[in-house]
């Protein structure tokens, strides 16, 4: 059983390298502090694991056609495309702004959407909930392949320990990638021009990745 969980952990690592996953993490993490970025990527990974676990339990009690399961790919690709459209719209309409503030003698850079800068104390909670939800929705994409792989390893039984191992593998890559994004935030996103370029680029990449998933 331990060897099976190790295989599933490795499969989670490979699965996490999907361009749609990394694109979604980048979209949510651009312009955020390192702490927020880590928290967001963690929530995304957990949402992904929860989605897989729920689908596994659902399929234990009812048989769904392969055509229905394929709609999961449509859902995940649509999410990526919509995020890309949103980011491009915000960048092209000059709704992404940057400001510098000093708190306790330490300078901080704030990036926000819209014409007016408002400190939202619930921003972290909102973005965490959003990342959790998006992670769950994107977990629907490719769920058939994931469940077939996990079931083959465990002789047609998918349990919580397997999903936890898979989620741990996914989480390792997501957090590593999120850390890399946070380095870009800290060292590159220091001017409004760079911020707009970064968000526009993320939007274009999202559209390309989402469109390829639909083809």
User: CA nearest 198: which of 79, 16, 29, 18?
Assistant: 29
Q: Which pLDDT does position 138 carry in this prediction?
A: 75
pLDDT tens across 130-174, in order? 888 888 777 766 566 666 666 655 555 667 787 788 889 889 999
Q: What tokens does 164 get?
A: 């936890």
What CA–CA distance (Å, rounded) separates 9 from 6?
5
Average pLDDT of the residues in 5-29: 84
Q: Within 13 Å and on the Cβ side, how many CA atoms surround 40? A: 28
pLDDT tens across 19-64, in order? 888 888 888 888 887 888 888 888 888 888 888 777 766 766 666 5
What CA–CA distance (Å, rounded) separates 101 from 85?
30
Q: Which pLDDT does position 133 carry in this prediction?
A: 83
Map out the domains of the chain as residue ranges. 2-214
Is pLDDT above 70 for 108?
Answer: no
Q: Which pLDDT does position 45 carry in this prediction?
A: 86
Q: Report the largest interatomic distance among the alpha carbons of the chain, rounded to a whole angstrom.
A: 61
* Interacting residues of 113 by C-beta distance below 8 A, sequence separation 6+: 90, 95, 96, 97
DSSP bridge pairs for 111: 98
What CA–CA distance (Å, rounded) separates 143 from 90?
32
Average pLDDT of the residues in 85-97: 87
Q: Which pLDDT does position 177 carry in this prediction?
A: 93
What CA–CA distance (Å, rounded) separates 69 from 80?
18
């Amino acid at each position: 059983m331990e060897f099976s969980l190790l295989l599933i952990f490795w499969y989670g690592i490979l699965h996490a390298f999907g361009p749609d996953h990394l694109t979604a993490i980048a979209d949510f993490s651009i312009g955020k502090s390192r702490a927020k970025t880590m928290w967001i990527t963690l929530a995304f990974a957990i949402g992904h694991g929860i989605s897989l676990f729920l689908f596994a339990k659902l399929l234990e009690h009812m048989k769904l056609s392969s055509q229905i399961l394929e709609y999961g790919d449509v859902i995940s690709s649509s999410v990526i495309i919509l995020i890309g459209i949103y980011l491009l719209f915000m960048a092209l309409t000059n709704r992404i702004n940057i400001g510098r503030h000093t708190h306790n003698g330490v300078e901080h850079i704030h990036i926000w959407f819209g014409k007016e800068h408002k400190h939202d104390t619930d921003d972290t909670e909102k973005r965490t909930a959003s990342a959790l939800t998006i992670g769950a929705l994107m977990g629907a994409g490719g769920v058939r392949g994931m469940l077939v792989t996990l079931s083959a390893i465990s002789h047609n039984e998918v349990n919580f320990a397997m999903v936890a191992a898979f989620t741990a593998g996914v989480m390792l890559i997501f957090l590593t990638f999120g850390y890399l994004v946070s380095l870009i935030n800290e060292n590159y996103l220091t001017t409004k021009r760079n911020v707009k370029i970064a968000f526009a680029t993320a939007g274009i990449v999202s559209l390309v990745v989402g469109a390829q998933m639909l083809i």
